[in-house]
Structure 1
Amino acid sequence: MNLAPRQHDILNLARERGYVSIDELAQAFAVTPQTIRRDINQLAEHGLLRRTHGGAACEASSIQNTAYGMRAGQMREEKQRIAEAVAAQIPDHASLFINIGTTTEAIARELQNHRGLKIITNNLHVAAQLSAKADFEVLVAGGTVRSDGGIVGQAAVDFIQQFKVDYAIVGISGIDEDGSLLDFDYQEVRVSQAIIDNARQVFLAADSSKFGRNAVVRLGSIALVDRVFTDSAPSAAITRLLHSHKVQLDLV
């Protein structure tokens, strides 16, 4: 494919950041959003980018996740809005699970203004953020520690299964068009399944780049959660699925 200079630049930005939005590209190149959509469509048709709601993501492997440092920098503003919305729904003196993910870490930062929370987590970054609060009780699962601060393995599953909490705050790597929640690490998925099974209310925090993203391990259906917090409306098929299973959709 012979790429126009602007398309080269769009592709390079997507590779550098992992995700780019139509609005920011239109502003950066001083063109209309419609022009950017045409560029993205052409790049996607040749397998160079993956279209998402409101933007495009660098086409990545379905068996290996993006590096933690890159994930932490992607969709920062969207994750912050999601974090604020989720935190606003958590009352003081609640018990909650928080799993692995950069979005759940953003939520943990927003929870620092709460009082009397009891947090059970398999995310060392979350534990470090919240343990500084004197009136919080933070319990950390045992197991194998990954380079991104996640804790996985059977010991972590066994630990989680000892509790029944008010809320689970979970992130995910991808959401298929059929509503499947997808991730890359089988051991991480086992822990997340235990978290979902042992919470009274399950909040899924997923920015719009996660919709349509592929990953190899299936956690379960999006119907398992009670509320989905995201920054852009998902596809019609996902929206119908949420409606049919009475899953509340929170757009932020």
Structure 2
Amino acid sequence: MFKKVQKLPELAEELNISIDTLRRDINLLDKQGKIKKIYGGIKLVESEFAESPMDARMVGHLEEKRMIAQKCSEYINDGDCIYLDSGSTTYQIAKYIKNKKNLTVITNSIPVVNELMNSAVELIIIGGKVRLNEQSVIAYDYLFNFSELNILKAFICASGITLEKGISDYNLEEAQTRKKIIDLSKDVYVAADHTKFGKDVTIGIASLDKIGYIITDRNIDRSFLQKFKTKRTSLIIAE
């Protein structure tokens, strides 16, 4: 089983910052009620009713997200044109694709742009309003011509996944961007850890018949494995 508690040395190494900087950030997040400090590490405080801020999600279920991201990268080939959604899991994907050849990445995620900025990957960032809490760009048709995009594979995040309603999220404008990308993309992958299953949150994004693949971690409730056999969506477990 993956660890639910993140240790400080592991986080400092993953985030490429010093222990002193990490401790300052942790103290701030603790005061804001976004994390809980425990002996030797931290634990994410999760809300059942609202989206956790991006900075808190970046350190929650980190090992699972890294495994999911690595599995996603196996489906990305040289020469692909892909979309990387805003989210803590899709951000991890960026770390595994820097050495792909002739790869084009379209994204609305500022952390993804920062991660790939000095790589050989060709970057296209969609235009719109910056959503500060999510560190993403909310797109508008009059600022970005979606119809011109030719996306082979889209990697989408979601806050909720159910068999009945499909994937969902908390923010309407974010959901609208995802709907457009899903409609334009040849293959759609949802990258989501096990905590997202069984939840149907505020805004519906797409039913499962529009999703080709869901890549998740091995801590998923095993009852979902059997249930997904009745759906066209392939459930892939990152081991």
**TM-score of the pair, normalised by structure 2:** 0.74
Write the mapping of 1:1-252 to structure 2, written as runs, cut at 5 A: 60-62=47-49, 64-134=50-120, 136-147=121-132, 148-155=134-141, 158-176=144-162, 178-232=164-218, 234=220, 238-239=224-225, 242-252=228-238
CA distance change for structure 1 residues 213 and 133 in 2, over 3 Å: closer, same or farther?
same
Distance 1:200 1:212, change over 3 A: same
Structure 1 residue 241 displacement after superposition: 5.2
RMSD: 2.6
Residues 187, 97 of structure 1: alpha-carbon distance in 2 compared, 3 angstrom cutoff: same
Partner Cα separation in structure 1 for residue 61 and residue 179 of structure 2: 25
Flag structure 1 segments of 5+ consecutive residues without an equivalent.
Answer: 1-20, 26-56
CA deviation after TM superposition for structure 1 residue 58, in Å: 5.4
CA distance in 2, matches of 1:157, 1:227: 30
**Alpha carbons of 1:205 and 1:220: their partners in 2 closer, same or farther (altered >3 Å)?**
same
Structure 2: 5+ residue stretches without partners:
6-43
Distance 1:231 1:127, change over 3 A: same
Give the percent of matched residue pairs that are identical in Structure 1 and Structure 2.
24
Change (3 A) 1:84 1:59: closer
Deviates more, 1:122-131 or 1:172-181: 172-181
1:54 corresponds in structure 2 to none
Which structure shows the bigger proportion of residues in helix conformation?
Answer: 1
Measure the CA separation in 2 of the matches of 1:246 and 1:177. 11
Q: TM-score, normalised by structure 1?
A: 0.71
Deviation, structure 1 residue 222:
2.5
Query: What is the number of equivalent residue pairs in this alignment?
Result: 200
Shift in CA distance, 90/59, structure 1 to aligned 2, threshold 3 Å: closer
The structure having more radius of gyration, on CA atoms, is: 1
Question: Aligned equivalents of 1:177 and 1:66: distance in 2?
Answer: 23
Q: Which amino acid aligns with 1:60?
A: S
